């Protein structure tokens, strides 16, 4: 049976406000008061720390962050440290994986596939790097952005000199409560990548971060990318995706 997934475009929103909204939606979804939803948005500049984050992966001192207007927030998602900022599509699915999709690896793979398809929309070949749990997310080969070869990527990730230049274009970090999902992915469209210089992204020092713009794509608006993502969520999650106005969210759930 196909799911129904309601998509809300929130525009630019601060991290704390979006996090509180997620928490209320998760509670409501667990209780059966709302259906499956996906929040699509972009954040103000913020560094977020996942459950396995190491303090020394934040390179910027507090005063440097403050001068740049970058917040620092601890969060309950999986993963290490990452950066969010304008020009990045962030997707937060609040989805009950029961009864037929109760598989965390499958779900993470589904989020990756949505981003792979978003990249493909713009002529960029992206994929996942097999065999290394540290490299969760979606990657491109900056030496050949129109091609993706898993074997070549895997070899490059362990230091085999083959000319490939791996760079992450999409990060994933999730949390589940009674099989209801929270957090999600961040896909770099036209993000100011200097924000990632403030951290060791996802704890990976050896590899770079990239975006559609850095790869030479005439970057679309984040709202346009969000609109395209709805189609990909529908195909990947086998869902009927409908768009709704954020004002339709229950006021008691949406209240900050």
> Do the Cβ atoms of 44 and 85 come closer than 8 Å?
yes
Which stretches within the chain are classed as H helix?
Answer: 15-30, 62-68, 104-120, 150-157, 222-237, 251-254
What's the domain range around 162?
Answer: 3-254
**Can you give the CATH number for the domain in which 235 is found?**
3.30.930.10
pLDDT digits (tens, 9 = 90+) for 138-159: 999 999 999 999 999 999 988 8
DSSP state of 127: B
Burial of 254 (0-12, 13-18, 19+ CB in 10 A): middle
Across residues 78-102, what is the average pLDDT?
94
Count the neighbouring beta carbons within 10 Å of the beta carbon of residue 52.
Answer: 13
**Band of the pLDDT at 256, cuts 50, 70, 90?**
very low
Helix (H, G, I), strand (E, B) or coil at 247: helix
pLDDT at 255: 53
> Do the Cβ atoms of 186 and 166 come closer than 8 Å?
no
DSSP state of 35: -
Across residues 155-180, what is the average pLDDT?
94
Cα→Cα distances 136→145, 147, 202, 242, Å = 19, 19, 9, 29
Sorted by sequence, the CB contacts under 8 Å of residue 211 that are 6+ apart come out as 87, 88, 169, 188, 189, 190, 191, 193, 219
**For a pLDDT cut of 90, what percent of the chain falls above it?**
79
pLDDT digits (tens, 9 = 90+) for 93-136: 999 999 999 999 999 999 999 999 999 999 999 999 988 778 99
Residues with catalytic function:
202
Number of domains making up the chain: 1
pLDDT digits (tens, 9 = 90+) for 207-254: 899 999 999 999 899 999 999 999 999 999 999 999 999 988 876 576
pLDDT at 100: 93
DSSP state of 219: P
pLDDT at 36: 96
């Amino acid at each position: 049976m196909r799911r129904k997934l309601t998509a809300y475009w929130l525009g630019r929103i601060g991290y704390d406000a979006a996090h509180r909204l997620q928490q209320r939606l998760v509670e409501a979804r667990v209780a059966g008061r709302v259906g499956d939803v996906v929040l699509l948005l972009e954040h103000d500049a913020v560094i977020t720390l996942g459950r396995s984050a190491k303090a020394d992966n934040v390179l910027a001192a507090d005063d440097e962050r403050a001068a740049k207007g970058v917040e620092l927030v601890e969060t309950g998602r999986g993963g290490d440290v990452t950066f969010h900022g304008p020009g990045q599509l962030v997707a937060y699915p609040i989805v009950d994986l029961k009864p037929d999709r109760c598989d965390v690896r499958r779900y993470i793979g589904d989020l990756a596939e949505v981003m792979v398809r978003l990249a493909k929309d713009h002529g960029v070949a992206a994929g996942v790097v097999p065999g290394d749990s540290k490299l969760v997310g979606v990657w491109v080969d900056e030496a050949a952005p129109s091609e993706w070869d898993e074997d070549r990527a895997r070899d490059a990730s362990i230091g085999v000199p083959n000319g490939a230049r791996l760079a992450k274009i999409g990060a994933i970090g999730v949390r589940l409560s009674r099989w209801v999902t929270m957090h999600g992915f961040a896909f770099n469209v036209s993000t100011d990548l200097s924000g990632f210089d403030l951290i060791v992204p996802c704890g990976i020092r050896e590899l770079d971060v990239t975006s559609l713009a850095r790869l030479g794509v005439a970057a679309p608006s984040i709202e346009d990318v969000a609109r395209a993502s709805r189609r990909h969520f529908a195909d990947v999650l086998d869902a009927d995706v409908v768009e709704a106005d954020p004002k339709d969210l229950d006021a008691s759930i949406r209240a900050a």
